[in-house]
Structure 1
């Protein structure tokens, strides 16, 4: 069997100096039937290693409900890496950031009032259970046991969050006692304090950066005096948020920086090689003074685009790698235009009441949060009977997390948005106040991990508290299933319809195919194809298309369901020849 270790100056594979040239693919962001294709294209670009995070909340969204099958089959993903003749790096966190909701941490952790990412005994007990499950998969797939895994990372950019050395020591203890014998690493941004706080003696420090290579490597070397230098996250692109632009990086700049890394003898992990998609409700959010929810696409301007097609950056980085390491002669096939067609949508009626009789709900003096309801979907509706008043009154709230549609007796009166720092809206007299609140994505970085979602605190009407709230959880995926099953009446009405409104359509395909669903004529909501939850759309942009992976389509009849929260200006589902990710910075 092969061996992998750290020498005085280099990684050593079977005792010989080895330069890691890796690329990131998150298995949980890619359809499992497409894993092999993405891994193969990584090898054809010249990569010798695949890196992946492990998303705890994908494997265990509810305490005790562990799942390592299907989309969560980490073992199969690693086996495919080995079959392609490549190595693997596994980064199980437990915190991963990754622009993934809640940074990969399950929401039930915070609900149990544990102190996240510390040596809090309750937190460590849960983390230990999680890591042992992950290492049951990873340990038998280490290189010395015939598998692909050559490195395992402890935590993730911990120096940007804390300095609890006892926490890191316990993670190392659990990792090693679980049979992990390959070298252990940490990663931090090349800032002295972060590199000092985020690691331990005996762990190999690596850096995360995307430019100014000589300077960043010098900083890293001050903290990692021996062994190979490695950029574990070479940022070759960036992520997008709703209301922003589509971020790209210059191809030549990425190529030059990669060349500088490899020329310096450093190892590298390209973040991302293939970004994939935040399918369903898995997008995270940033909050650095302003809450910014991230889009459904995780294209990241990576060498392999969201649909798995090689880009200009793919070939430029391949040329750079060829200067430093062997590259296969074979090239991947270029992407071809997807089928383009338009499907009329039928109005299936309002949906915000669908399935509420079986939904988790609470009647109490105060509104219940998503977390108190144990709700993992996107929406909770809050209803309260209003006192008698005869002129418009001011409704004020402590906090909205994250976007709310306010109505009185079924008539819309406005919205409250966290991104706008809204806290008040004027409402007219009426009998029933309803507030539909959307969780737009859990913050994935910083001290807001695990924060509650929903209507926070007790709303006031002209300064007086409103009591007697009914909080009803809405499972958007379950509602879409109900609509697709034909349990709601449909009509051919194609005019603008007051929202929330459900729409359905049917279309035929000659064969399975990647599709790109145009959302430019819609407002805000969620879309499903053949029951598969593509994700969120929003007129706020920049993203204007949703990627439909070929494996969720089928030859013959296919269905599309749209759950529109606001207004569908165009009652058609239009499919585009390619991605439409939005405007670039001018």
Structure 2
């Protein structure tokens, strides 16, 4: 039986010293048809291991309902890695961060009153246990101890950046062991005292995450891990983008230099990321340090492969460094995946949201606004509507609190946007606030609230969506609401009308068009001239677009297309210059 072990400061596989050179690829950010392509490119660059998180919310989208098929087929991803000759590191939740929605936690946890996350809180542990009872038996046959490729598995993730409940960490570790996980277990944390103190466990290998100054990081790690191999479990060779920021770029010279120093020291390394991929659908996460910052749809990460899997200059530079330490496999590199310009797509039909509500949603009556989670909804939008009596003088609309962005309508007429970061909960009317004058006969007040991604890191992770407390006109709370959950997970029942000669300039509307494909290839959807919304290709949710950038195009993998006619639906929240988009052969940043 093949054996993976620790011998002093070295890893050993089959009695030979083993320096792990790993790269992260998240199966849930790459369409399954491209898993082999990405893994071959990893192996062809000299890597011997692939690392992946496992996203709980992909596998248990509704409590007790499990999914391990399609893009969620993590077993098949690991099997392909083994077929190519790669070892595997698995980081199996419950929390993964990863700039992924809610750090991989399922949204339905927040439907339970008083839920405490990532600690020794029994209702939370019960939910983790139920998930592990299903997940771990799938992984056991793939363990290295059973002849499979999985060398090691992680206990939690960067826990020292969040808390210090060691009993919780020990509970997770023992739960893995009890379910048959007998490979090397490890923790990973930033190379700072409080992080290593809070996130490590006796008898469990401690590893460090960093992007620069490897000597300092390993010196600090050695204070806590003096006798075991040194591992950088996340070597940050790029970074991610938030909406409204510039695209993050890190030069390959710097990345290559730091890698050379890591490998020269004899330490093992895992590139975060080798390829980033895409936050398809509504799966982007968000950060909150001083304000709420949602992550863009692309998870390009300025990594070694682009979002679409193309080889970059960084890939070539890293391959040169690795070739100094190991033999690079010959003739493994697959042919480049073709990209194609399909040209302009005309949107010819429309369905205004307020006209199709009853087709999309079963309304819920409630005295007060309910959060998305309490409605049993995970992602998308919620429309809250109430009747306001009149007359009333100009009064400020206050949402307490909006998560994360609300379009406000009075009798279906658009009045403006309330955004999480800018909204003041006082009654004084300032520039940018929405104030309404209610006529004698009263009016219908509606708020369309968008969940722009639950926070995936830090102390603000308990982040329910929709309206968390209530809506006021000045000091007075408004009651008796009709609520329409709008997950937008099935648009097949929508009926459309021919698009008007002049496209509406505001108001949430679905636009539909078709385009013809003779030859399947990757392509990129340019949303120039549109404002904010979501795009669906043949029923698949590509993700969000927003004209504030930096992302201006959405990646469309060829497997989402079909030979012949293809359907495109765009849910635009505000308006566009003209009802046309372009499918082009390369991405574009604003």
TM-score, normalised with respect to structure 1: 0.96
The whole-number CA distance in structure 1 between the counterparts of 2:525 and 2:251 is: 27
1:21-60 matches, within 5 Å, as 21-60=21-60
Residue 352 (structure 2) aligns with: 350
The question of 1:444 aligning with 2:422 is answered no
SS in 2 for 1:222: helix
1:210-359 matches, within 5 Å, as 210-330=211-331, 331-334=333-336, 336-356=338-358, 359=361
SS in 2 for 1:248: coil
8 Å CA contact 1:46, 1:325 repeated in 2: yes
8 Å CA contact 1:393, 1:428 repeated in 2: yes
Residue 475 (structure 1) aligns with: 487
Residue 495 of structure 1 deviates from its aligned partner by: 3.4
8 Å CA contact 2:233, 2:270 repeated in 1: yes
The question of 1:143 aligning with 2:144 is answered yes
1:495-538 CA-to-partner distances (Å, cap 9, x unmatched) read: 34432122111111112211100012111111011111101111
The question of 1:508 aligning with 2:516 is answered yes
The question of 1:78 aligning with 2:78 is answered yes
Query: Which of these residues, 533, 537, 543, is aligned with residue 525 of structure 1?
Result: 533
The question of 1:540 aligning with 2:548 is answered yes
1:92-111 matches, within 5 Å, as 92-111=92-111
8 Å CA contact 1:511, 1:555 repeated in 2: yes
Q: Which structure 2 segments of 5+ residues have no match? A: 426-432
The question of 1:429 aligning with 2:431 is answered no
1:142-188 CA-to-partner distances (Å, cap 9, x unmatched) read: 11222110010000000111111111111111111111111100000
SS in 2 for 1:391: strand
Residue 362 of structure 1 deviates from its aligned partner by: 2.5
Residue 361 of structure 1 deviates from its aligned partner by: 3.3
Residue 394 (structure 1) aligns with: 396
Residue 564 (structure 1) aligns with: 572
Residue 103 of structure 1 deviates from its aligned partner by: 0.5
C-alpha change, 1:392 and 1:310, in structure 2 (3 Å) is same
Point out the more displaced range, 358-367 or 271-280: 358-367
The whole-number CA distance in structure 2 between the counterparts of 1:492 and 1:383 is: 27
The whole-number CA distance in structure 2 between the counterparts of 1:167 and 1:377 is: 29
Q: Which structure 1 segments of 5+ residues have no match? A: none
8 Å CA contact 1:347, 1:501 repeated in 2: no
C-alpha change, 1:15 and 1:421, in structure 2 (3 Å) is farther
Residue 89 (structure 2) aligns with: 89
Residue 369 (structure 2) aligns with: 367
The whole-number CA distance in structure 2 between the counterparts of 1:340 and 1:251 is: 32
C-alpha change, 1:367 and 1:152, in structure 2 (3 Å) is same
8 Å CA contact 1:159, 1:196 repeated in 2: yes
8 Å CA contact 2:337, 2:521 repeated in 1: no
8 Å CA contact 1:381, 1:435 repeated in 2: yes
8 Å CA contact 1:386, 1:433 repeated in 2: yes
SS in 1 for 2:131: helix
C-alpha change, 1:19 and 1:339, in structure 2 (3 Å) is same
The question of 1:465 aligning with 2:471 is answered no
Residue 347 of structure 1 deviates from its aligned partner by: 3.4
8 Å CA contact 1:496, 1:569 repeated in 2: no
The whole-number CA distance in structure 2 between the counterparts of 1:353 and 1:283 is: 29
The whole-number CA distance in structure 1 between the counterparts of 2:542 and 2:392 is: 45
8 Å CA contact 2:342, 2:517 repeated in 1: no
The whole-number CA distance in structure 1 between the counterparts of 2:355 and 2:21 is: 52
Residue 298 of structure 1 deviates from its aligned partner by: 0.5
Residue 64 of structure 1 deviates from its aligned partner by: 0.3
Query: Which of these residues, 465, 473, 479, is aligned with residue 453 of structure 1?
Result: 465
The whole-number CA distance in structure 2 between the counterparts of 1:415 and 1:428 is: 17
Residue 206 (structure 1) aligns with: 207
Residue 338 of structure 1 deviates from its aligned partner by: 2.3
The whole-number CA distance in structure 1 between the counterparts of 2:81 and 2:3 is: 17
1:540-572 CA-to-partner distances (Å, cap 9, x unmatched) read: 111000011110111111111111111121311
1:396-416 CA-to-partner distances (Å, cap 9, x unmatched) read: 222110000111111111110
1:27-76 CA-to-partner distances (Å, cap 9, x unmatched) read: 11110111111111110111100100000011001100011111111111
Aligned-residue CA RMSD in angstroms?
Answer: 1.5
C-alpha change, 1:62 and 1:290, in structure 2 (3 Å) is same
Residue 357 of structure 1 deviates from its aligned partner by: 5.4
C-alpha change, 1:535 and 1:435, in structure 2 (3 Å) is same
Residue 379 (structure 1) aligns with: 381
Residue 430 (structure 2) aligns with: none
Runs of 4+ in 1 over 4 A off after TM superposition: 334-337
8 Å CA contact 1:132, 1:174 repeated in 2: no
Query: Number of residues paired by the alignment?
Result: 578
1:341-374 CA-to-partner distances (Å, cap 9, x unmatched) read: 1111113131244243562433222111101111
Residue 587 (structure 2) aligns with: 579
1:109-165 CA-to-partner distances (Å, cap 9, x unmatched) read: 232233111111221121122123221111110112221100100000001111111
C-alpha change, 1:353 and 1:118, in structure 2 (3 Å) is farther
Point out the more displaced range, 489-498 or 159-168: 489-498
C-alpha change, 1:490 and 1:581, in structure 2 (3 Å) is same
8 Å CA contact 1:284, 1:294 repeated in 2: yes
The whole-number CA distance in structure 2 between the counterparts of 1:494 and 1:421 is: 33
The whole-number CA distance in structure 1 between the counterparts of 2:438 and 2:476 is: 15
The whole-number CA distance in structure 1 between the counterparts of 2:175 and 2:394 is: 60
